Amino acid sequence: MTTAALRPAGRTLSWLLVFGAILLAWITMFAMARMAGVDVLGRPVGMNMMPMTRFGALFPMWAIMMAAMMLPTMVPTLADYERLMTAADGTRAGWWGVLLGYGVAWIGFAALIALAQVGLMAMGWLDGLGAATSGLLTAGLLLAVGGFQFSRTKAVCHGRCHAPMTFFLGHWRTGFAGGIDMGLRLGGYCVVCCWGFMALGFVGGVMSLLWMGLATLFMVFEKLPVVGHRLIRPAGAVLIAAGLIAAALAFA
């Protein structure tokens, strides 16, 4: 253990940068929503001065959204790694490596979901604000994400995200490169665990700050040590019920 790794000034600066990035991402999303002419619910209330129909515009938007929504869920993981800077041979460089690897995984997902949005808009299933124009698409998304909450894949990936210390102890690698490797792995599990809540943005519009806030809050609670695993199936049941209602309305 190096004394430099635990210097209070370095620790404070690192956490300030993380929380500053979260705040900046949310401020940016708020400004983008205003420019898109929507309220906090994602409903049009003014002129859209920021049309997002091409990948070149959608990818940066989704990347910023990933930072706003997923960096808060990363805090327990970074705190666990920091404990290993006293109990093992973790380093501040490794801490940053974990954060970078995690970010790369989610930026990759941002590219995929931006491509999905472009395709769905081309088929006429989404409007210019990323909201579903089809009741069947809404129902399908709700049912798919709700059903996924009961799957073995969800359970396995949530187990990795829910207990980062266990993951670190089983896959420990030292240094910056080791941190990136662990961050990429953890980020991959997290993407698979949480992809559905990102896809649900298409239900009410991806520019809805209310959806972003509620989804972020749920994902933070889902990763808490005591209550996290107890939220998965109830949330799935609620989503399935909502999907059945949406399907009934679509066929009515």
What is the domain partition of the chain in residue ranges? 4-251
Residue 244 in tokens: 């059945």
pLDDT: is 53 or 118 the higher one? 118
Report the amino acid identity of residue 138.
Answer: T
Say if CB 61 and CB 52 are below 8 A apart: yes
pLDDT for 238 beyond 70 = yes
pTM, to two decimals: 0.89
Q: Is the pLDDT of residue 17 over 80?
A: yes
So what's the pLDDT on residue 6? 53
pLDDT, tens digit (0-9, with 9 covering 90-100), for 154-181:
999 998 888 899 999 899 998 999 999 9
Residue matched to tokens 């679509």: 250
The CA radius of gyration of the chain, in Å to the nearest whole number, is 19
Reading the block at residue 123, the tokens are 């088929």
Contact 215, 130 (CB under 8 A): no
Residues 184-194 have pLDDT tens digits of 999 999 999 99
Q: Three-state SS for 171?
A: coil
- Model confidence at 64: pLDDT above 60: yes
Calculate what percentage of the chain has a pLDDT beyond 70: 97
